[in-house]
């Protein structure tokens, strides 16, 4: 097996040999170049995991800024809800008024129709 | 700590503003560090952190507690960081895949330089920042913060398989950058050191 083909799989194999095909593992066991690369991947992962314990402190005043942002976002949300509510109420009012006008018109027409029938009768 | 956070989350969900402040205080350093690792500079990290907490506040009622609060914050932060970097990239007419260096060269702002072995950690930080934001996000979330592939894929909007492929590519790039030519010249010594 060629080193180049095995090298493509080393970033995955470093998570555990069970992820590799037997022939790939056999190659690594017999190839110093691939072993050396695997060692480098292990060192890389160790170094990355070590960074987990390296924690930075944000600048002073960050908490206040975050809370102000949240308050601002909350106000925007409340304003949006208010406007949405008003818009809904406005549209609802128009719909009710339109329906009422339609119903009234229908009643007028119906009454006229009845009167004409009576006069004709 | 986890139990305390759980109690704070429940109180915050019930509308206790003070409890949310305590949550921010307890997690802000972790959130900021992740934001810094993903963006590579202090200013962007601050912006990302602000946005992440606003999103967390708005989405707190949807947090079911099936993951640790810290992990939930990592996912939100990663999502905010990528959105932020994409927007910034568009604004500056940069390509996301250009592997542009985004390193903050100021030593006092370098998280990996603040511990012993500063040179190695500075190199590692620089190597991380040399990756594209998408590659960097996968390797940071997986290899530093130990998030499962599934969660990473969900946050990045890609399949689990694609997340794994991206991770392996990112590792390869980091190795090539951190160990140039060493495989050829020091292979035997390195193998013996295992």
pLDDT in tens, A63-83: 899 989 888 876 665 555 545
Please indicate, yes or no, if residue B188 is contained in any of the structural domains. no
Among A102-111, B81-90, B114-123, the range scoring the smallest mean pLDDT is B114-123
State mean pLDDT over A9-29.
90
| Residues whose CB is less than 8 angstroms from the CB of residue B139 and which lie 6 or more positions away in sequence, other chains included | A48, B128, B131, B167, B170, B171, B174
Residues 6 or more apart whose Cβ sits within 8 Å of residue A37 = A7, A10, B175, B183, B187
Q: What is the CA radius of gyration of chain A?
A: 39
**Residue of higher predicted confidence among B96 and B150:** B150
What residues make up the domain containing B43? 2-181
Determine whether the interchain pair A48/B139 forms a contact, defined as Cβ–Cβ distance below 8 Å. Answer: yes
Residue B91 lies in a domain: yes
Contacts with B19 (C-beta within 8 Å, 6 or more apart), sequence order: B8, B9, B11, B12
Residue B152: pLDDT over 90 = yes
Out of A37-41, B22-26, B89-93, pick the least confident: B89-93
Put simply, the answer to whether B143 touches A54 (Cβ < 8 Å) is no
Residue B52 counted as domain residue = yes
User: Quick check: B46 pLDDT over 70?
Assistant: yes
Rounded CA Rg of chain B: 18
Local confidence band at B97 (pLDDT 50, 70, 90 cut-offs): very low
Neighbouring C-beta atoms of residue B92, cutoff 10 Å: 8
Question: Is the model's pLDDT at B7 over the cut of 90?
Answer: no
- Residue A80 has a pLDDT of 53
Residues of A within 8 A of B188 (CB-CB) are 32, 36
Provide the residue ranges of all domains of chain A, joining segments of one domain with +: 3-51, 91-121
Give the C-alpha separation, B166 to B171, whole Å: 9
Mean pLDDT, range A14-34, rounded to an integer: 90
Question: Which residue among B21, B30, B42 places its CB closest to the CB of A63?
Answer: B21
Report the CATH number at residue B56.
1.10.1740.10
Distance between CA atoms of residues B38 and B139, nearest Å: 10
Alpha-carbon distance A40 to B178, whole Å?
9
The pTM for the full model equals 0.72
Q: Comparing B193 with B74, which gets the higher pLDDT?
A: B74
Residue B151, pLDDT score:
92
* Distance, CA of B98 to CA of B45 (rounded, Å): 21
* A91 pLDDT higher than 50: yes
Output the pLDDT for position A75.
66
Q: Between chains, do B183 and A69 touch, taking CB under 8 Å as contact?
A: no
Percent of chain A's residues with pLDDT above 90: 33
Please tell me the distance from the alpha carbon of residue B59 to that of residue B73, in angstroms, as a whole number: 11
The interface predicted TM-score of the complex, written ipTM, equals 0.75
Q: How far is CA B78 from CA A32, B46, B82, B85, B123, in A?
A: 38, 13, 6, 11, 22
Does B189 map to a domain?
no
**Residue B172 pLDDT greater than 90, yes or no:** yes
Contact A54 B115 (CB under 8 A): yes
Domain count, chain B: 1
Euclidean distance between CA atoms A37 and A57, whole angstroms: 35
User: What is the rounded CA–CA span in Å between residue B77 and residue B148?
Assistant: 16
Q: How far is CA A74 from the centre of its chain?
A: 19
Looking at per-residue confidence, does A56 or A87 come out higher? A56
């Amino acid at each position: 097996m060629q080193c180049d083909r095995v090298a493509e799989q080393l970033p995955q194999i470093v998570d555990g040999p069970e992820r590799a095909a037997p022939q790939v593992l056999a190659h690594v066991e017999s190839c110093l170049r691939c072993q050396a690369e695997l060692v480098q991947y292990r060192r890389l992962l160790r170094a990355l995991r070590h960074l987990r314990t390296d924690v930075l402190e944000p600048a002073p005043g960050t908490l206040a800024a975050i809370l102000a942002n949240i308050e601002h976002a909350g106000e925007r949300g409340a304003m949006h809800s208010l406007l949405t509510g008003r818009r809904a109420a406005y549209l609802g009012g128009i719909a009710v008024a339109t329906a009422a006008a339609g119903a009234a018109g229908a009643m007028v027409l119906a009454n006229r129709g009845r009167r004409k029938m009576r006069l004709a009768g | 700590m986890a139990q305390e956070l759980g109690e704070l989350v429940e109180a915050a969900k019930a509308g206790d503003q003070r409890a949310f402040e305590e949550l921010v205080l307890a997690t802000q350093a972790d959130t900021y560090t992740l934001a810094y690792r993903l963006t590579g500079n202090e200013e962007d990290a601050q912006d990302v952190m602000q946005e992440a907490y606003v999103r967390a506040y708005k989405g707190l009622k949807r947090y079911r507690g099936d993951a640790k609060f810290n992990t939930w914050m990592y996912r939100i932060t990663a999502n905010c960081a990528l959105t932020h970097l994409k927007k910034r990239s568009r604004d500056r007419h940069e390509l996301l895949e250009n592997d542009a260096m985004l390193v903050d060269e100021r030593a006092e702002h370098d998280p990996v330089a603040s511990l012993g072995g500063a040179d190695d950690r500075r190199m590692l930080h620089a190597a991380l920042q040399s990756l594209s934001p998408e590659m960097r996000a996968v390797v940071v979330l997986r290899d530093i913060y130990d998030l499962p592939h599934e969660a990473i894929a969900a946050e990045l909007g890609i399949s689990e398989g694609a997340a794994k492929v991206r991770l392996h590519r990112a590792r390869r790039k980091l190795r090539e950058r951190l160990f140039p030519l060493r495989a050829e010249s020091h292979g035997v010594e390195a193998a013996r050191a295992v």
